[in-house]
Amino acid sequence: MSDHKFYANTVRSVAPGQRIVLSSRRHTRPAHPMTARLGVPMARRAFMAGGSASILTAGLPATAKPSATLLVSHPAFAQHNPGPFIPERPAREIAIMEALAAPAFAALVRHEAPLHGALREAILRVHAPEYFDMLNGYASDTPNLPHAFDLDTVLGDRSWDAALLAVSAGLHAVDCVFDKDGGIRNAFCPVRPPGHHAEAARAMGFCFFSNVAIAAKYACAAHGAERVAVIDFDVHHGNGTQSAFWDEKNLFYGSTHELPLFPGTGAVSETGVRNVFNAPLKAGDGTVQFQLAMTERILPALDDFRPDLILISAGFDAHEGDPLAHIRLQEADFTWITMKVMEIADKHCDDRIVSMLEGGYVLKDLAHSASAHVSQLMRV
């Protein structure tokens, strides 16, 4: 099936007045906004790579002692399938879970994401109710799935459950790190679909719900957090998180990202109410520029903010091998930034960190980078 036929068959218009407008002409556009460097054959080859889904149910060996680091996963995260031409694909989840099944991670506390009781209420702190109901409506209209909101963002027949459970994973992890008797200090949630591009009333950039922004506002509402910070080292700017935080002084957003690149936001001049700290990198930048951006702009501001909780938008697509961007980080850079964020979490908020997966599209690099990140979190 050609790319054109795929979209011609799956995209349909919505009624006038709805906020998300689909165009039946979008299949004529030359490339996905997120995947401008990817040809379809490369995306298809990458989609075919991957391992067995059985690893998703791998549990903690009976003899292992729990650590203070929680892993919140769910088989549904590998069942969200936006189609064969989109690099944000189920094999990503499988690659990460296979890596985290290694003996080095046996001490992780492993929870399957529950469907959180405060889920809808939490989502509606960030997203418009009309948007939630519209997504639900499309998800319920199974004969017409998959449904493409744009060239990157496709709702398949298992996507709604995955999107709700992705949000739930973050809420559950927040509950756990605020439970003083639970022994959990930090958490990693390898969720799909990712979240940081989702706007209040718009799905985009592979994202439907703004997972970390929802978790941040939930921490304030449910656990009395006075200041919550998000550190976003995904190679793309988290436009959705930034807009959700834009005029809220008790929420902090700090991001390194390549610019210019999708979604086009993230300039230094975008500062919200002095709670937004963008440190854009340029194509070809690597470890030196990344560490400078963090140590000179973002981390000092985070320290001054004195967070009660730090969330991480853990995208690994700034890795040098990633086909969606042009930054040249290595696994060691993800270890480094995790360590620096942990130092601030230790100083201000009893180590509370909840990290949620965003991007990263080369399976081997994604698995190694996520492993580096989680290994460091386990050194709490």
Residue ranges in contact with Zn ion by CB under 5 A: 234, 236, 315, 317, 359
Which one, 317 or 331, has the nearer CB to Zn ion?
317
Token code pair at residue 198: 């989702």
Instruction: Using only the alpha carbons of the chain, give its radius of gyration.
Output: 19
Catalytic residue flag (residue 197):
yes
Considering Cα of 249, then 252, then 257, then 261, what sign does the dihedral take? negative
Considering Cα of 52, then 106, then 186, then 174, what sign does the dihedral take? positive
CB of 24 to Zn ion, least distance (A): 28
Which one, 109 or 280, has the nearer CB to Zn ion?
280
Q: List the catalytic residue out of 111, 127, 197, 237.
A: 197
CB of 286 to Zn ion, least distance (A): 17
CB of 25 to Zn ion, least distance (A): 26
Element (H, E) at 229: strand 228-232
CB of 319 to Zn ion, least distance (A): 11
Which one, 98 or 317, has the nearer CB to Zn ion?
317
Which one, 317 or 351, has the nearer CB to Zn ion?
317
Which one, 69 or 278, has the nearer CB to Zn ion?
278
Which one, 254 or 352, has the nearer CB to Zn ion?
254
CB of 196 to Zn ion, least distance (A): 8
> Helix H segments across 141-275?
159-178, 211-223, 239-245
For Zn ion, which residue has the nearest CB?
A: 359
Distance CA 147, CA 9 (A): 9
CB of 359 to Zn ion, least distance (A): 3
Would you state the torsion angle of the CA atoms of residues 176, 353, 315, 267, taken in this order, to the nearest 10 degrees? 130
Would you state the torsion angle of the CA atoms of residues 306, 265, 212, 377, taken in this order, to the nearest 10 degrees? -60
Residue 349 · residue 307 · CB < 8 Å:
yes
Residue 220 · residue 212 · CB < 8 Å:
no
Residue 257 · residue 232 · CB < 8 Å:
yes
Distances (CA, A) of 358 to 27, 117, 304, 329, 365: 26, 24, 26, 16, 14
Residue 311 · residue 355 · CB < 8 Å:
yes
Active site residues: 197
